Structure 1
């Protein structure tokens, strides 16, 4: 990046040359984050090398909320705002909400921002994600557990969850190599790899969901459009009333499963 050029223009040029699609917007954010010209040059260099913008900034804007993002943690995708919309439509103020495979805790944070007071629980297997989620959710009273899906949750939560959201990994193992480098090289494999057909973790989420859902409670799983039928089959096999919903605007597909109100 040329030291003699206007810093913003030089940053835009460098980022555009590196293939950043939103070079102008990213350059403005990096310029605002940098305290010195040398720091800006370092940020632009690291972004040009493929480090996620959100990691460089230390935050992501998601559903109108600023979410802290640490290195080595799955970065919230803007399409997942549709999962939040679907969850909010099924929840109420004071609801018991559970976010599995929570990453930064962005889903729970966004749901709480829309609904206000919640009993919010979240869980992830990655230590870096657990630490990041605790930083995001502790100020709003959210509890974050470290462990594999339902395993670390308190037994007192069984049968009480009104809304269960899961942005579990759903990329087929062989497709990981085709992902953008900023995800493939800088996000934990555990947060991306869903097994041979991408649905290994989703099946486990669906199978045990009825034990944790309250009567009439909802399970919402983000999935790929080409995988939605199989995801829905797994949810239906767990005994939930199932449907597939899709947002063309955000390019996101969500499978919704509801526990019948008469079932316990």
Structure 2
């Protein structure tokens, strides 16, 4: 019979591998493992550099356990700020689209937030170009009545959504291509490049999205996306060039800056 793994041994193994929060990670792994053999395998995957969320199979985001498969972008806690901004701006019975959705965390979290606030009427769609992300997103979005589409940006969305989106969540990649090598190995090695690479200055995908967004937004509809403080002026310019009114919001809790583009009513 396989003997249970002592938490102290797991902590020591993770700490030796460089895990800063070894105690917390050890508890999560041991709680998730079905057997001692599973626990050992999970510890070794984590010690080898696999993101904790990929080891566990889920990430905590806005109070939800978001399913995250290996090779899928892991939602960042700072992006909870974007979801809160979107929830505050959502009209009654909103049509929501989560573009470049990855795991679908943003769409699922916004739907969950609206339900908690008593809004149980909304339409939710999401899209991503990565097949693995689409499969993962379906597990997170469909329980909220949402639909996930595979393809490039707006292309796979139902044409009926054109001119009718109230809240467009666009968590586009914004890391400049020349800075990808500076990312932590957990992201650089284990997450899809398409979810990270924003082109020369990091805003190539964003410019494509903002150029198309006005045709998809409803009057008064809004697009929300993250960017860095350094990129914010150029990001705002891209929004305004598309004919949208741009504002920026900065989190006091997270290192997060969200740009909001509004279509005139």
**TM-score, structure 1 normalization:** 0.95
- Structure 1 unaligned regions, length at least 5: none
Partners of 1:234 and 1:59 lie apart in 2 by 34
Aligned pairs for 1:150-189 within 5 A: 150-189=154-193
For 1:111, the equivalent position in structure 2 comes to 110
Partners of 2:55 and 2:184 lie apart in 1 by 17
Q: Which moved more, 1:191-200 or 1:32-41?
A: 32-41
Runs of 4+ in 1 over 4 A off after TM superposition: 3-6
Instruction: Give 1:11 deviation, angstroms.
Output: 0.9
Instruction: Give 1:93 deviation, angstroms.
Output: 4.5
- On the 8 A contact 1:93/1:115 being kept in 2, the answer is no
Q: Aligned with 1:185: secondary structure?
A: helix
Deviations 1:71-90 (A, max 9, x none): 11100000000010110011
Over the residues paired in the alignment, what is the CA RMSD in angstroms?
1.4
For 1:94, the equivalent position in structure 2 comes to 93
Partners of 2:3 and 2:56 lie apart in 1 by 24
Deviations 1:78-126 (A, max 9, x none): 0000010110011145210011000000001000101023200101000
The answer as to 2:143 corresponding to 1:130 is no
- On the 8 A contact 1:92/1:115 being kept in 2, the answer is no
Instruction: State how many pairs are aligned.
Output: 259
Q: Aligned with 1:248: secondary structure?
A: coil
Partners of 1:19 and 1:232 lie apart in 2 by 39
For 2:263, the equivalent position in structure 1 comes to 259
Aligned pairs for 1:27-106 within 5 A: 27-106=26-105
Partners of 1:110 and 1:93 lie apart in 2 by 17
Instruction: Give 1:12 deviation, angstroms.
Output: 1.0
**TM-score, structure 2 normalization:** 0.95
Instruction: Give 1:35 deviation, angstroms.
Output: 2.3
Instruction: Give 1:5 deviation, angstroms.
Output: 9.8
For 1:222, the equivalent position in structure 2 comes to 226
Instruction: Give 1:4 deviation, angstroms.
Output: 8.9
Choose from 209, 217, 223 the match for 1:213: 217
Instruction: Give 1:39 deviation, angstroms.
Output: 1.9
- On the 8 A contact 2:5/2:36 being kept in 1, the answer is no
- On the 8 A contact 1:206/1:238 being kept in 2, the answer is yes
Partners of 2:44 and 2:158 lie apart in 1 by 45
For 1:201, the equivalent position in structure 2 comes to 205
Partners of 1:36 and 1:214 lie apart in 2 by 51
Q: Aligned with 2:200: secondary structure?
A: coil
Instruction: Give 1:248 deviation, angstroms.
Output: 3.1
